[in-house]
Amino acid sequence: MKIAMLGAGGWGTTLAILLQENGNDVTLWEFNAEYSRTLNQFRENFYYLPDIKIPSQVKITNNLTEAVSRKDIIVISTPTQFIRNSFAEIQNFNFGNSIILNVSKGIENKTNLTVSGILLDIFKQIEKKNIACLSGPSHAEEVARKIPTAVVCASENIENCKIVQKVFSNKNFRVYRSDDLTGTELGGALKNVIAITTGIADGIGFGDNTRAALITRGIQEIMRIGKKMNAREETFYGLSGIGDLIVTCTSKHSRNRFVGEEIGKGRSLKEILKDLKKVAEGVATAKSVHFLSEKLNVEVPIMEQVYKILYKGKNPLKATEELMTRKLKEEY
């Protein structure tokens, strides 16, 4: 199939290589013209995915219209907060029946939309049934090294999921399917906020008990938001829910966990982000969740404390104490 990968970060590059190796015709779009030339010349993404060769068959371009023209699948791998501005240039492009597949994980500030919502907002000509999402526990660093990985593709149109399953799957990468687009996107976006808390806990020097408590109470908060947005509860027990939450909250590869860890050690968010060249979606998503939970009238105490620590300068120890001494209640 002819596939465009819009975003040459670690994840976009990894998936572009996987798709090419699976026998597809792949075009990788990088937003920065100079870096696009560097990628073309050296065939390595030094910045976001070092030590992995990009096959010569993967076309690399900075031209967005050229990238999306005549493609069967258009994959969105651009970080959530950059999507709206990046794609304004192709706002009126005729996508026909191409599948628009989101692999990014976040909630946009200002609109509180997940990526499918942003896409429907920018591209009035596309139908929701043509949008799909691929999510689950899948660090680029491991997929690029062909470590066995399982993810899920969700779309209202299950036939599109079947196409995505066929195109992406191989002996190291297994794709399940689901019709719960909302739940799948929410799981991927919200786990990043919880990962910041497990990082903070580790940075402070708390132990395994704290991490396990944050993961299990965290999935409850994610589910509460999901239910209000008509997602299916079982989705949160799956790969894009608890699966992705576990990996992000425990892995050395997680930038969101890393950001939290540095905060727990006493560094400021501004200083951490200045040094972090890669995107940590959970930082912006924490802000969206603050407003979204208010709008939906959902109680998300852990995620609310993350918002206060990141944006209101709250002391993490004080936040912990407040969480621990809330009114006692039933588990469910």
Ligand X SMILES: NC(=O)c1ccc[n+]([C@@H]2O[C@H](COP(=O)([O-])OP(=O)(O)OC[C@H]3O[C@@H](n4cnc5c(N)ncnc54)[C@H](O)[C@@H]3O)[C@@H](O)[C@H]2O)c1
Q: Between 262 and 281, whose beta carbon lies closer to ligand X?
A: 281
The CB-of-263 to ligand X minimum distance in angstroms stands at 19
What token pair was written down for 196?
């910041």
The CB-of-6 to ligand X minimum distance in angstroms stands at 9
Instruction: Check if the beta carbon of residue 178 is closer than 8 Å to that of residue 235.
Output: yes
Of 191, 252, 265, 327, the catalytic one is 191
- Is residue 81 classed as helix, strand or coil in its secondary structure? helix
Of positions 20, 62, 98, 138, contacts ligand X by CB under 6 A: 138
295 is catalytic: no
By CB under 6 A, tell whether 12 contacts ligand X. Answer: yes
CB atoms within 10 A of CB 230: 9
By CB under 6 A, tell whether 140 contacts ligand X. Answer: yes
Residues 46-85 binding ligand X (CB under 6 A) are: 48, 77-80, 82
CB atoms within 10 A of CB 128: 14
Of positions 1, 2, 22, 31, contacts ligand X by CB under 6 A: 31
Best CA proximity match to 149, nearest among 179, 169, 164, 178: 169
What token pair was written down for 200?
């903070």
Q: How far apart are CA 57 and CA 234, in angstroms?
A: 40
Alpha-carbon distance values, 279 to 9, 26, 49, 245, 293 (Å): 9, 24, 13, 17, 23
By CB under 6 A, tell whether 279 contacts ligand X. Answer: yes
The CB-of-13 to ligand X minimum distance in angstroms stands at 7
Q: Side chain identity at 12, as an amino acid letter?
A: G
Of positions 5, 6, 8, 194, contacts ligand X by CB under 6 A: 8
The CB-of-147 to ligand X minimum distance in angstroms stands at 12
Alpha-carbon distance values, 148 to 19, 100, 164 (Å): 16, 25, 18
The CB-of-274 to ligand X minimum distance in angstroms stands at 15
By CB under 6 A, tell whether 32 contacts ligand X. Answer: yes
By CB under 6 A, tell whether 168 contacts ligand X. Answer: no
Which range in 28-36, 154-162, 205-213, 225-233 contacts ligand X by CB under 6 A?
28-36
Residues 236-275 binding ligand X (CB under 6 A) are: none
Alpha-carbon distance values, 53 to 17, 18, 139 (Å): 9, 11, 17
Residues that bind ligand X (CB under 6 A): 7-12, 30-32, 48, 77-80, 82, 86, 103-106, 138-140, 278-279, 281
Catalytic residue positions? 191
